[in-house]
A and B are shown apart, each in its own frame.
Chain A
């Protein structure tokens, strides 16, 4: 009997100490974008090793992340579509970019190697509008004089679920074409004039991989992992660019972060000779008057650490870190996140 008692008491004590340890070093809780998830996973691991603080990030999609942070069930949300100024003001929230990356046109055409095809915004828009339906269309031929294109129908693939990737892609098409902007618009889900819908980034990659004549848009990482065909693009300056960290970084660097309120800059179709035309960013959204100031401070400390130390991890995963001059602007904006009139995180 007393033996059992000892065990019970021991377990209770252990549980109690564990509980204490957990409260002493609270986890950072966040939810949202799946675009940024691989980076957050790596950063969270490294940060936990360095400081003992855990990052608990749920990759539930940008829309879900916005819902959760608005309801204050998590400390921060992450979204590939920035919130507009009115929404931020109404909810008392602020946002800043965390990472950038590239969206790439992937294809599956017999006899056309990865990186061989060149497309421009107009052509991609016409394909997604359903105006160009065959791979040997004169408009595609004109851009690819040395490539033999088959007389095959183009199978257009898009995301069927709401997605930040879709938002950035349709934002690019809206900038390219007024028709697209009027008829379809840009959002996390739109009314597609043509094509097949596939669920998630993996879904699009798989659909393109096994459907002859398919074209789809996807995050760069998925294209590389699946060894699929990807196209070069003609950018705003009229130059042909390949998808790479360098061209994504050029798009992020050339964006006008300074002039934008709440860092509301969509980095598609940016100027610059080397800029990749369909680049995207993920924003962190956080309350200005946090329910739990300590948790908010812990989150900001993590973001500060990530801006300063997280570049190699981001690069290894083909994401582009936010340029240093922009990080300065972001960290200055953190003085708005206050509790009792004082900024929750003073920096170091």
Chain B
């Protein structure tokens, strides 16, 4: 019995056919295994190279890198506070605007929307997700920013600026671009992601529960408030986190409209920067070991933040599904 029992022999020998299938299966098994392992290897490889490349910066600045505001390539002093702050503030603005909007859209689509309109509106929102981020950037820069400078920001500065505490957020000159504009563009970008997850989890609510609630005479608002939202709570948080993960890492669109200034300012109108925008702006021309290492360390920080947010999102979504 040798390997020559292929072809017509195999038909005569059922054992050979079985062995051939077994061999096939083993190859398939290892290919699948290999593909899966490759992803993990790539992930670890990226993490390792980020750590490795950022060693000079970590050695020089230590942990104080995280709370130093100065970013001076000329004097070789680097701190990540401004980009971390900008990343978080723009993402928070985006979430504050996008969460209520997305929930509204999802509730409308699942509960209120007339059947014939459901698909066109749903598709329009999904199409938003397909627009490349550079287009959002161009639109933000050429259309939204001038509108912000001439109308929205002067209004906010005049009306909210004089108020105590809140006023600090809306003070300064209207530049048009800045953290508020970046947050707005981000909100539009993450809207479709949160909406589609929210809509999907709303649909997991058993029809029986929902119908009995309506049957008891509950209004749509009461059904949402007391049945649907409590039932899908964790899934909703997961969807929100997914949107947050995207907002944190968005690069091109933000680079266009944030103003790219390494400063921490209380005012939302002020120009700032984010981690990804700093890297995109500066990496190509970063001369000197410490400068590139600091940019890579920024990348490492973003990796850790996004990874944590996404892991948390997955975990929460997973928990709703097991209900």
How far is B37's CA from A150's CA once the two chains are assembled, in angstroms? 64
How far is B260's CA from A66's CA once the two chains are assembled, in angstroms? 25
Does B146 sit within 8 A of A, measured CB to CB? yes
| Closest beta carbon of chain B to A170's beta carbon, Å | 8
Give A52-64 as 1s and 0s: 1 = Cβ < 8 Å from B's Cβ atoms: 0000000011111
Does A221 sit within 8 A of B, measured CB to CB? no
Q: Give the interface centre of A61, A62, A160, A207 by most chain B CB atoms within 10 Å.
A: A160
Contact A195 B74 (CB under 8 A): no
Give A153-186 as 1s and 0s: 1 = Cβ < 8 Å from B's Cβ atoms: 1010000111100000010000000000000111
| Closest beta carbon of chain A to B258's beta carbon, Å | 9
Chain A's closest residue to B70 (CB) is A191
Contacting B260 at CB < 8 Å: which of A61, A185, A198, A212? A198
With A66-B287, A188-B287 already in contact, the answer to whether A160 and B260 are too (CB < 8 A) is yes
Chain B's closest residue to A161 (CB) is B281
| Closest beta carbon of chain A to B279's beta carbon, Å | 11
Chain B residues with CB under 8 Å of A187's CB are 73-74
Tally of contact residues, B, Cβ under 8 A = 32
Does B141 sit within 8 A of A, measured CB to CB? yes
Contacting B73 at CB < 8 Å: which of A190, A197, A198? A190
With A185-B72, A187-B73, A191-B74 already in contact, the answer to whether A199 and B149 are too (CB < 8 A) is no
| Closest beta carbon of chain A to B103's beta carbon, Å | 34
Chain B residues with CB under 8 Å of A198's CB are 260
Contact A196 B260 (CB under 8 A): yes
Chain B residues with CB under 8 Å of A186's CB are 74
Contact B72 A190 (CB under 8 A): yes
Instruction: List which A220-254 residues lie within 8 A (CB) of chain B.
Output: none
Contact B285 A62 (CB under 8 A): yes
Contacting A196 at CB < 8 Å: which of B142, B177, B255, B287? B177
Contact B261 A192 (CB under 8 A): yes
Instruction: List which A126-173 residues lie within 8 A (CB) of chain B.
Output: 133, 153, 155, 160-163, 170
How far is B260's CA from A295's CA once the two chains are assembled, in angstroms? 40
Chain B's closest residue to A213 (CB) is B173
| Closest beta carbon of chain B to A131's beta carbon, Å | 15
Chain A's closest residue to B172 (CB) is A153
Contact B149 A64 (CB under 8 A): no
Contact A199 B74 (CB under 8 A): no
How far is B262's CA from A184's CA once the two chains are assembled, in angstroms? 13
| Closest beta carbon of chain A to B86's beta carbon, Å | 12
Chain B's closest residue to A81 (CB) is B287
Chain B residues with CB under 8 Å of A170's CB are 74
Does A123 sit within 8 A of B, measured CB to CB? no
Chain A residues with CB under 8 Å of B271's CB are 195-197
Q: Give the interface centre of A62, A184, A196, A212 by most chain B CB atoms within 10 Å.
A: A196
Chain B residues with CB under 8 Å of A161's CB are 281-282, 284-285
Contacting B282 at CB < 8 Å: which of A153, A162, A191? A162
Give A186-212 as 1s and 0s: 1 = Cβ < 8 Å from B's Cβ atoms: 111111101111110000001100111
Chain A residues with CB under 8 Å of B175's CB are 155, 196, 211
How far is B77's CA from A198's CA once the two chains are assembled, in angstroms? 22
Chain B residues with CB under 8 Å of A67's CB are 287
How far is B281's CA from A196's CA once the two chains are assembled, in angstroms? 13
24 contacts between A and B (CB under 8 A): A60-B284, A61-B285, A67-B287, A133-B173, A160-B255, A160-B281, A160-B282, A161-B284, A162-B286, A185-B75, A189-B286, A190-B72, A191-B70, A191-B71, A191-B72, A191-B74, A192-B261, A192-B262, A196-B261, A197-B259, A198-B260, A206-B142, A210-B146, A211-B175
Interface residues of A (CB under 8 A from B): 60-64, 66-67, 133, 153, 155, 160-163, 170, 184-192, 194-199, 206-207, 210-212
Nearest 10 A-B pairs (CB), nearest first?
Answer: A162-B285, A197-B260, A160-B260, A191-B72, A185-B74, A187-B74, A63-B285, A153-B173, A196-B259, A189-B73
